[in-house]
Amino acid sequence: GLGLVFQSLTTQAEDEAFSEYGDIAESIIMPEDRSWVAFDLRPEARWQDGRPITVEDVIFSLETLKSEGHPFYRAYYKNVVKAEKVGERRVRFTFDGGTNRELPLIVGQMPILPKHYFEGREFARATLDPPVGSGPYRIKKVDPGRTIVYERVRDWWGADIPVNKGRFNYDEVRYEYYRDSDVALEAFKAGQYDIRLENTAKLWATGYQSPALDKGWIKKEEIPFEGAAGMQGFVFNTRRPIFEDRRVRRALAYAFDFEWTNKTLFYGAYTRTESYFANTELAARGLPGPKELELLEPFRDRLPPEVFTEEYRAPRTDGSGNIRKNLRIALRMLREAGWRVKDGVLTNQETGEVMRFEILLVSPAFERIALPFVKNLKRLGIEARVRTVDTSQYQNRLDNFDFDMIVAVWGQSLSPGNEQRNYWSCEAAETPGSRNYAGICDPVVDYLIDRIIQAPTREDLVAATRALDRVLLWGHYVIPHWHTRVIRVAYWNKFGRPSITPRYGLDLFAWWVDPAKLAALEAAGGISR
């Protein structure tokens, strides 16, 4: 939502993976070696209180996000040495001596903050006071934990910029928050809100049946998605001693029955994820190619042999629910790692420790997926339990890595870069609030992240990313889940939209309320507001 309030120097189009267009910036200057980038600010760019957006605002934004922002920003902008004023409306970012070709795009995406507004205010302090923004909407109303309402800025300075033409057509945008997904769906069917993106296959298959759907008042669509699917899975916190051994992590993956889950719970809607960069050319495939081997060979003695000899495949079943074969494999692997079943409980032969852990969840909807997994673990003698907590407690425990196992998602792009540090690096493993949930600290991983960030060509980027993918997969830090190649969206039938759908996303702010459709819906007795 705050992306509606704060603009950035540039905007990325949803149908171009590696292009950005000027937003607050009207022109961009960059040398061939990309060691720096300069932006000329548009003279008409204004804050919502009428003050001009200045170079000082841009410099303040970088310095504040790096020093007081979320730990993600410190890692993300690590290679930005400084921002300086080099003209009345020109700001220049200087980068360190590396070859990170993505840095000009990264600083272009940075949200620009109003220096004059935050002077005298604590940036990191939570507040319900609406900030002064520069975007097409301002915050109108906040009901904490329930609703946030944005209203369109009528005289918005950026309305005629080409990248914004045809977008931001709603007079008011309201986000509704619900603690329970079933309650949220019923509210949608009752017309309490207009658009819903569905991420639960069961609800998509069976939950939308209603008179409104039968009469065509509600529409359901699956829109093709060509972007990166990323990785979702059960994540081991390797900071916990029971998960330090890669062999243990690999064994436990055999207790998760994806095929049964997909058939029984998801109506066959998903594809098994077998890459951290699924649905892209960046995903590892086959055995390492020559350019990957150049990166991996120096570390052969430090890496699992499978990195060089096998293509990663997640454990499979026949979908019947009978996974005795996989459990036998798991027990064999656990024995090799020093664990034995004693009196029905999996016990470490050397220490006498019992294998016992908690799967921490924030969504009750995920319990139906985790509980069959727990049941299979019990057959291995493992005492696992599921615990679902509220959002604030979950986030606090996540930030402090206070969990044994969670379900996590790492989104990816078609051009990975600095964000990989926040996901997998040794530094992030020790930084509270980072997204290195697994606690990965491997010099090989750090090296490959640097190769991704400094890749001089697309070919080099693909090779480095595939090499990283292999190392992560064979590290067994995650029990991979699933992904889909469509975006599931349901909406009340009152919207118009462009004839062309972006390849890499769904731009709901390019839609508009169609007066004829709205009138027809109201005349038919539709109850959507």
Q: Tens digit of pLDDT for each residue in 192-205?
A: 999 999 988 999 99
What's this model's pTM, rounded to 2 decimal places?
Answer: 0.86
- Label each residue of 152-173 as H, E or C: ECCCCCCCCCHHHCCCCCCCEE
CA distance 295 to 316: 30
The residue among 106, 161, 105, 108 whose CA lies nearest residue 136 is: 161
Give the list of residues 6+ apart from residue 439 with CB closer than 8 angstroms, or none: 237, 238, 239, 401, 429
Token pair recorded at residue 339: 């664990």
* Residue spans in the chain of domains classed CATH 3.10.105.10: 231-483
Strands 383-388 and 356-361, by their bridges, are parallel
Res. 527 pLDDT band, cuts 50 70 90: low
| Averaged pLDDT for residues 444-463 | 95
Q: What is the pLDDT of residues 298-342, one digit of tens each?
A: 999 999 999 999 999 999 999 999 999 999 999 999 999 999 999
Confirm if 44 and 177 have CB atoms less than 8 A apart. no
Given this model, what pLDDT does residue 122 score?
Answer: 84
With 90 as the cut, is the pLDDT of residue 409 above it?
yes
- What distance separates the 2 farthest-apart alpha carbons in the chain? 77
Q: What pLDDT, on a 0 to 100 scale, did the predictor assign at position 528?
A: 47
Q: In the beta sheet, which residues pair with residue 219?
A: 491
Q: Does domain 1-177 have CATH number 3.40.50.720?
A: no
Query: pLDDT-based confidence at 395, cuts 50/70/90?
Result: very high
Closest CA to 63 of 86, 81, 85, 38: 81
Say if CB 276 and CB 469 are below 8 A apart.
yes
The CATH 3.40.190.10 portion of the chain extends over: 1-177
520: confidence class by pLDDT, cuts 50, 70, 90 = very high
Question: Does domain 231-483 match CATH 1.10.3720.10?
Answer: no
The backbone torsions φ and ψ at residue 29, rounded to the nearest 5 degrees and listed phi first, read: -120, 135
d(C-alpha 396, C-alpha 417), whole Å:
27
Compute φ and ψ for 248, nearest 5 degrees.
-65, -45
When mean pLDDT is compared across 13-17, 92-96, 344-348, 360-364, the lowest value belongs to 13-17
Mean pLDDT of the chain: 94
